[in-house]
Amino acid sequence: MRMLHTMLRVGNLDRSIAFYQEVLGMKLLRRNDFPDGRFTLAFVGYGDEAAHTVLELTHNWDTESYDLGNGYGHIAIEVEDAYAACDMARAKGGKVTREAGPMKHGTTVIAFIEDPDGYKIEFIQKGSR
């Protein structure tokens, strides 16, 4: 078995695709409309799904926003330098919600940004785990 994707429901698909491409450098791998179900699926990631775990952005055409609740944590992305990654994200219009630095009660160097729907994305500095 292997992990294929994580699905996130998004309120505006073009806004989300632009974020994952422009702020996080992901590629749009495929986009499929399902008119009978009034939803679209867009898969984004850092490489082909045959070898990469990706994100499945789900846009329900009649839903503009979601209550994320208090159970969702984050999706983690490895970066060479968490401090530089925060600067890059900010420069590209991303919202940094936790600046880079060692995690509380630990030593892993992390940072958090939010995507357009408020889903947290964690930067983890390579080699600091």
Of the candidate residues 76, 93, 99, 102, the single one contacting Ni ion (CB under 5 A): 76
Beta sheet of 27-34, edge-to-edge order: 5-9, 54-60, 39-45, 27-34
Rank residues 29 and 111 by Cβ distance to Ni ion and give the closer one: 111
Residue 104 binds: one of Ni ion, ligand LWWXVOTR, none (C-beta under 5 to 8 A by kind): ligand LWWXVOTR
Helix (DSSP H) and strand (DSSP E) numbers for the chain: 2, 8
Check if the beta carbon of residue 64 is closer than 8 Å to that of residue 16: no
CB of 98 to ligand LWWXVOTR, least distance (A): 5
Is residue 80 annotated as a catalytic residue, yes or no?
no
| Residues forming the active site | 122
